[in-house]
Amino acid sequence: ILAAFTVVTASVIALTKDDLKARLAYSTVSQLSYVILGVALLTPMAVSGGLAHIAHHAFSKITLFFAAGSIYVAAHTKKISLMDGLGRRMPVTFTAFAVASLSMIGVPPSCGFVTKWLLAGGALQADKALILAALGASTLLNAAYFTPIIYRAFFRPEPADAHHHGGEAPWTMVAPLSVTALISIYLGLFPETFMRFVNAFGSF
């Protein structure tokens, strides 16, 4: 119950943050609670989902933090409210950010979909409707605090008084976040890659 409470509460706090790194930090608290939640349910699907969520979170969240750093270097801002139109100026960075965000939400074919599917199945196995509801609420909150960033970046016009110069950050910053975003998709398309390892430790 405590893990489920943390999952939802941290997501609500993340929704209130305009600082991108602060939003990602509270998202991390929420996402890591999924791991505890999965293990605490003690059902095969939930434990597998919780352990697999470690890999999902590692690649998806590091992509988001890499992107936040790239945005700061190229556009000199951490404020989400100042990111209108930046997706057209920094398409690679924000595409990777979008991929990782959708993985955090749990949209297929990302690895986040696989882990949330397993966690939901585990909650059903344990007959824990409250946990299932918490997972659903958290997913909606994930969408509420990630999708506006993507919308701002790609679909809102850049302010006339914007002082952003140039385009993408240096390739030494853009290349790693592109790789980790692709891994997030790869683990969603081929979940058995990591699940064999997970099942070796989480089997009942």
Output the pTM of the full model.
0.92
Q: Please state the domain count of the chain.
A: 1
DSSP H/E element including 159: none
Strand partners, 19: 79
**102: which 2 tokens?**
């959708």
Decide if pLDDT at 192 tops 60.
yes
Dihedral pair phi/psi, residue 166, rounded to 5°:
70, -165
- DSSP line for 108-142: TTSHHHHHHHHHHHHHHHTT-HHHHHHHHHHHHHH
Q: What is the pLDDT of residues 62-115, one digit of tens each?
A: 999 999 999 999 999 999 999 999 999 999 999 999 999 999 999 999 999 999
**100-113 burial string, b = 16+ CB within 10 Å, else e?**
bbbbbbbbebbbbb
**184: which 2 tokens?**
């997030």
**90: which 2 tokens?**
């920094």
Of 43, 45, 35, the closest CA to residue 3 belongs to 35
Band (165; pLDDT cuts 50, 70, 90)? low
Band (202; pLDDT cuts 50, 70, 90)? low
pLDDT at 1: 74
Region 43-72 average pLDDT: 93
Number of other residues whose CB lies within 10 A of the CB of residue 147: 14
Identify the domain containing residue 83 by its residue range: 2-158+165-202
